[in-house]
Chains A and B, each alone.
Chain A
Amino acid sequence: EAGVTQSPTHLIKTRGQQATLRCSPISGHTSVYWYQQALGLGLQFLLWYDEGEERNRGNFPPRFSGRQFPNYSSELNVNALELEDSALYLCASSLLGQLNSYNEQFFGPGTRLTVL
């Protein structure tokens, strides 16, 4: 069974541009989560989508946004890129919108975004 997939693997942008990152969840999973892992920092929760709706967002500015499509895949958009947005962006999916010990979040390999 295919795991969570993300594209592109690497993305290089300049300050002020927009970046679009994509994620396809494991088949059957309806929830998609986005996390940012900046160098030297831990993983920070960005967004949670379930059944096409944004369920929760982390402490990030509005220029971080996204959406979930009817096939449960998801897109993360980052507008007006800043140098400090350079990070590994990880997408995860789970079976249900409720997190308990049986609904593990499975992570994709990530998109490494570099802002010059």
Chain B
Amino acid sequence: RKEVEQDPGPFNVPEGATVAFNCTYSNSASQSFFWYRQDCRKEPKLLMSVYSSGNEDGRFTAQLNRASQYISLLIRDSKLSDSATYLCVVTRSSNTGKLIFGQGTTLQVKP
């Protein structure tokens, strides 16, 4: 079983739709949580960190449920430019320098 699991999709949604991505992690000692975005054949870029209290950045909302070991990302009012692969990322409690990536969920926003 992979340490970080995501539904690979693809999610095909119309512009303006709300879409939610889910991610589960298996190591209860995981410490920090992030969502990265990766455009086709480009490098990953940090979209947002995920905090226990939940956090919002514009149209993006991230939630963390430590008890269920579950992370989510909600995108409201989808734009064409949101089309990308969204990577769920966790780190372990010890200082390993290692980001543990999920396989990514592909989003395609259509006009």
Chain A hits for B41, CB < 8 A: 88
Which of A43, A50, A106, A109 interacts with B97 by CB under 8 Å?
A: A50
In the complex, given contacts A99-B95, A99-B97, what are 4 additional A-B residue pairs having Cβ atoms less than 8 angstroms apart? A55-B97, A99-B91, A107-B43, A110-B43
Interface size range on A against B: 20 to 34
Which of A41, A45, A50, A101 interacts with B99 by CB under 8 Å?
A: A45
Chain A hits for B103, CB < 8 A: 41-42
A-B CB contact pairs (8 Å), 25 listed: A33-B98, A41-B103, A43-B87, A43-B99, A43-B101, A44-B101, A45-B99, A48-B96, A55-B97, A56-B96, A88-B41, A90-B43, A90-B44, A92-B99, A97-B95, A98-B95, A99-B32, A99-B91, A99-B95, A100-B32, A101-B34, A104-B46, A105-B46, A108-B43, A109-B42
Output the least CB separation between A57 and chain B (Å). Answer: 9
CB neighbors of A among B43-99 (8 A): 43-46, 49, 51, 87, 91, 95-99
